[in-house]
Amino acid sequence: MHRVGSAGNTAGSSRPRKEKRFTYVLNDADNKKHCAGINCLSYLDASTSGTSDYLFTGSRDGTLKRWESKNGVASFSATFESHVDWVNDAIIVGQNLVSCSSDTTLKVWNCLSDGACTRTLRQHSDYVICLAAAEKNSNIVASGGLGGEVFIWDLDSALAPVVKSVDVKEDEAPNGNSGPALTTLCSVNSSSNLASTNGQSHGYSPITAKGHKDSVYALAMNDTGNLLVSGGTEKVVRVWDPRTGSKKMKLRGHTDNIRALLIDPTGRLCLSGSSDSMIRLWDLGQQRCIHSYAVHTDSVWALASTPSFNHVYSGGRDQSVYLTDLGKRESVLLCTNEHPILQLSLQDDMIWVATTDSSVYGWEAEGQTPEKLIQKGASFLAGNLSFSRARASLEGSAPVPVHKEPSTIIPGVPAIIQHEILNNRRHVLTKDTAGSVKLWEITRGAVIEDFGKVSFEDKKKELFEMVSIPAWFTMDARLGCLSVHLDTPQCFTAEIYAVDLNVAGAQEDLKINLAQETLRGLLVHWSKRKQRSGSHGLSNGDTSTGKDVSLRNLPHPRSEVDDGAENHASQMLPSFEFSTVSPPSIITEGSSGGPWRKRITDLDGTESDIPWWIVDCVEHNRFPKENTKCGFYLHPAEGSPAPNITQGKLSAPRILRIHKVANYVVEKLDRPLDGNADSTFAMGLTSGQSQFSALDSSSRLGLKPWQKLKPSVEILCNSQVLLPEMSLATVRAYVWKKPEDLILNYRVVQSR
């Protein structure tokens, strides 16, 4: 398990960040499918649900999905979205679905709901990797993770109603986190995504099983909940009494990480799978290993037993699923997959297989009579030494699988594995696991071109533009899809002329702030519903005594904050309209409830934890005015008879076109130099008051701004003639290439 920073989880981050980060996750066109590997499976049969059989899947895309299973065919039923990082495990506990994530939380959901989270449990300090529950005790859940922590939760106590606490300041949160101190308790709000339970002020905290010195990868509990086993990087199986958290025994034998555990209903036998490729059967009464099974050629990551505990299905890194008779030591290769196997779920005559691929595969299995499969296939004796299987594989005696093809597939969307932000800072080139290369426009979250299976590097070179736009966002594809991160004030550094976005009726000098318009597009549903609900201000800031309120109420001088009078458009621009069919999700850090995630179309206007700087930008059209100017000198070219028309350094917007500089020179050459010439480059600072007034005739004819006038001068930099459409920033980045102030030269040319 690699330690990788997540989209919403800032625990342990050393990067100082004054304000809360805002992230939006771009969903694929088909949001009924997972777009990253499937880490976990859980099954709810009709006898428990009272309706249908349901399969629950948890993915590295941060979501869980519910599938209705009928006659071996699974159809999409619901998405459970609130985690902000990988979902690592999920189990059914009574009528509840409990999930755990790399965002360090457990979340509780109603299995048959529309996907709303009912409670978030926070106690872990690191990624939560595994869960276990007692079949006959629907209150008890155990959780373990990379922090070496194992907690045993009583759900009845943990889910009891709590009273909202508002007396903890955000800047008093431990480790610089925006989450609460461990004694803080916060109630469930309308979104059901922001609640935390840390219990001590509520009178409840989970039982801690102390003893692991390193990461915990696997847990299992017997039916009655009086026996818990755990395993991880210490290579030993630890046995606990979950009622007290006390140690009972340690079982030694594996030579590598323990990755999977099963315990029989009686609590007498335990099965373990390890990265040493071995499966071991332990007698807990005798406190020893009674059988070893050398079935796999690589790490064993998943185990699923028959109800009688006489047979076990196993899978792992070698991409194979084996069925083993634990008594007779006979094994058969059930099937092979194209990806490493992460989890198995046996239901009647179907074994569901989760892999690092985004699809879920169902293979035929004899749930009640597994010996039929062993008789059907080419069985072999499971040795007790791991090298025996590896040697057999090398000698070419690998077994033939019983099944060639799965009986059913729940298809996923190929995960994005490579991405490149293009120079215009609006387009991103991606490549997915299927080899398809696509071009995204991130300001509206849409794929604008699918190039198919072409060379990523060649396409990147083909799309190269010699333009320079500030890096106003950062990005990753950790969730299998694009996550775009915005931090203030850096995100407000990028501007673009409206005419470059083909905005109908836009004046030539009208500038668009990319972050502002993107935020308006993302929160358009939230804004409308907030207005309808009559909400005023920031409930987050109003109920907190922390940093949010003081910063929000600080007066911002005009030099630091742009009131948007020149830049803001009353209507939504087409380049910033996000899809409502496959809407993106937003992730942000709550002031008291920790990070949360929600689709933009599900925002109801009552969300209280949207950062103040976002609200200020979207609702009040205020945002920090970053330095978007470029200083430069303008001199006659060497050998040119043209007079010197400027005194000192000029200043203009970085996006100013060279044709404007040429027009400025023409204008100055037409009249004597004013001795008191202002060093501010006035031509670049003017902006029309009416933002969407009709353009002149040349614009209506589709001419670019630099095609309207035919300058009688050429602008040069480093003796290179500059194209009229180039901006000052582009010239500085690609022609000037020096840290010093830009120097431009001009010379008179024959009028064209």
Looking at residue 717, which CATH number applies to its domain?
3.10.20.90
Query: Within 10 A of 499 (CB to CB), how many other CB atoms are there?
Result: 17
Question: Is the torsion defined by CA of 28, 610, 628, 510 positive or negative?
Answer: positive
Pairing relationship of beta strands 629-636 and 742-748 according to DSSP bridges: parallel
Rounded to 5 degrees, what are φ and ψ at 376? -75, -35
Residue written as tokens 């729940």? 410
Asked if residue 649 and residue 730 are part of one domain, the reply reads yes
| Mean pLDDT of all residues in 520-544 | 67
Which has more confidence, 686 or 90? Answer: 90
Could you tell me which residues are beta bridge partners of residue 32?
A: none
pLDDT over threshold 70, residue 321: yes
Same domain, 579 and 664: no
pLDDT of residue 750: 67
User: 595-625, pLDDT tens digit by residue?
Assistant: 899 999 999 888 878 899 999 999 999 998 8
Strands of 4-85 (E only): list them. Answer: 22-25, 38-44, 53-59, 63-70, 73-81
Q: Based on the domain organization, do 718 and 635 belong to the same domain?
A: yes
**pLDDT at residue 88, as a whole number:** 98
> Regarding predicted confidence, which is higher, 571 or 91?
91
Any domain includes 408: no
% of the chain at pLDDT higher than 90: 58
Question: Taking 50 as the threshold, does the pLDDT of residue 678 lie above it?
Answer: no
Rounded Cα–Cα distance for residues 426 and 423 (Å): 8
- Of the candidates 518, 611, 748, which has an alpha carbon nearest to the alpha carbon of residue 178? 611
169 in a structural domain: no
Residue 53 has pLDDT above 50, yes or no: yes
Residue 635 lies in a domain: yes
Q: Round to whole Å and give the CA distance between 732 and 633.
A: 12
- List % helix, strand, coil for the chain (3-state, nearest 5): 15, 35, 50
Q: Is the pTM for the entire model greater than 0.85?
A: no
Greater confidence (399 vs 253) lies with 253
pLDDT at 395: 57
502 in a structural domain: yes
Write the single-letter amino acid at 92.
I
Buried b (16+ CB within 10 A) or exposed e, 730-741: bbbbebbeeeee
In three-state secondary structure terms, 155 is helix
Identify whether 148 is part of a domain. Answer: no
Among 73, 33, 84, 31, CA closest to 57? 33
Question: Quick one: pLDDT at residue 388?
Answer: 57
Are 45 and 114 part of one and the same domain? Answer: yes
Count of CA atoms in the C-beta half-sphere (13 A) of 418 = 13
In this structure, the answer to whether residues 598 and 713 fall within a common structural domain is: no
Crossing angle (nearest 10°) for helices 514-522 and 524-533:
60
Rounded average pLDDT over 373-397: 69
- What's the pLDDT score for residue 196? 42
Is the pLDDT assigned to residue 701 strictly greater than 50? Answer: no
Same domain, 591 and 473: yes
Number of domains in the chain: 3
Q: Rounded to an integer, what distance in angstroms lies between the CA atom of residue 399 and that of residue 408?
A: 23
Q: Binning pLDDT at 50, 70 and 90, where does residue 667 land?
A: confident
State the amino acid at position 371 in one-letter form.
E
How would residue 18 be classed by pLDDT, with cut points 50, 70 and 90?
low
The b-or-e profile of 274-288 (16+ CB within 10 A means b, else e) is bbbbbbbbbebeeee
pLDDT at 253 over 60: yes
Identify the weakest region by mean pLDDT among 201-215, 446-460, 471-485.
201-215
Q: What tens digit of pLDDT does each residue of 188-231 get?
A: 333 333 334 333 335 578 999 998 889 999 999 999 899 999 99
Query: Quick count: other Cβ atoms within 10 Å of Cβ 261?
Result: 23
**In the chain, % of residues over pLDDT 70:** 79
Q: Is 683 helix (H, G, I), strand (E, B) or coil?
A: helix
Whether 436 is in a domain gets the answer yes
Q: pLDDT-based confidence at 396, cuts 50/70/90?
A: low
Residues 730 and 646 in one domain: yes
Kindly state the average pLDDT of the residues 30-48: 90
Asked if residue 653 has a cis previous peptide bond (ω within 30° of 0), the answer is: no
**Burial class (CB within 10 angstroms; exposed 0-12, middle 13-18, buried 19+) of 388:** middle
Whether the predicted pLDDT of 716 surpasses 50 = yes
CA atoms within 13 A on the CB side of 477: 20
Does residue 83 register a pLDDT over 90?
yes
| pLDDT at residue 686, as a whole number | 34
- Confidence label for 168 from pLDDT (cuts 50, 70 and 90): very low
For residue 461, what pLDDT band results from cuts at 50, 70 and 90? very high
Q: Tell whether 587 and 512 lie within a shared domain.
A: yes
Q: How far apart are CA 45 and CA 92, in angstroms?
A: 10
pLDDT per residue as tens digits for the range 385-394:
765 555 555 5
Is residue 509 within 8 A of residue 498, CB to CB? The reply is no
For residue 505, what pLDDT is reported?
78
CA distance 3 to 21: 20
Question: Does 603 map to a domain?
Answer: yes
Chain mean pLDDT for the chain: 81
Q: Specify which residues 430 forms β-bridges with.
A: 419, 438
- 492 and 634 together in one domain: no
- Expressed as residue numbers, the domain containing 664 is 628-671+709-751
What pLDDT sits at residue 676? Answer: 39
Among 217, 218, 479, CA closest to 358: 479
pLDDT in tens, 357-371: 999 999 998 767 888
Residue 684 has a pLDDT of: 40
Helix (H, G, I), strand (E, B) or coil at 700: helix
Please give the helix or strand (H or E) that residue 748 lies within, else none. strand 742-748
Report pLDDT digits (tens) over 91-145. 999 889 999 999 999 999 999 988 889 999 999 999 999 999 998 887 899 999 9
Statement to judge: residues 601 and 721 lie in one domain: no
Looking at residue 415, its pLDDT comes to 95
CA triple 118-121-124, angle to 5 deg: 155
Q: What is the pLDDT of residue 315?
A: 97
Q: Which of 12-16, 41-45, 509-513, 634-638 has the lowest mean pLDDT?
A: 12-16
Region of poorest pLDDT, from 37-41, 337-341, 466-470, 554-558: 554-558
Predicted local confidence at residue 531, as pLDDT: 80
247 phi and psi angles, rounded to 5 deg: -75, 145
459-464, Cβ contacts within 8 angstroms, sequence gap of 24 or more: 459/429, 460/420, 460/422, 460/429, 463/422, 463/427, 463/429, 463/439, 464/422, 464/423
- As a whole number, mean pLDDT of residues 436-447 equals 95
Tell me: do 614 and 661 sit in the same domain: no
pLDDT band at 381 (very low <50, low <70, confident <90, very high): confident
Residue 600 maps to a domain: yes
Q: Do 483 and 612 fall within a single domain?
A: yes
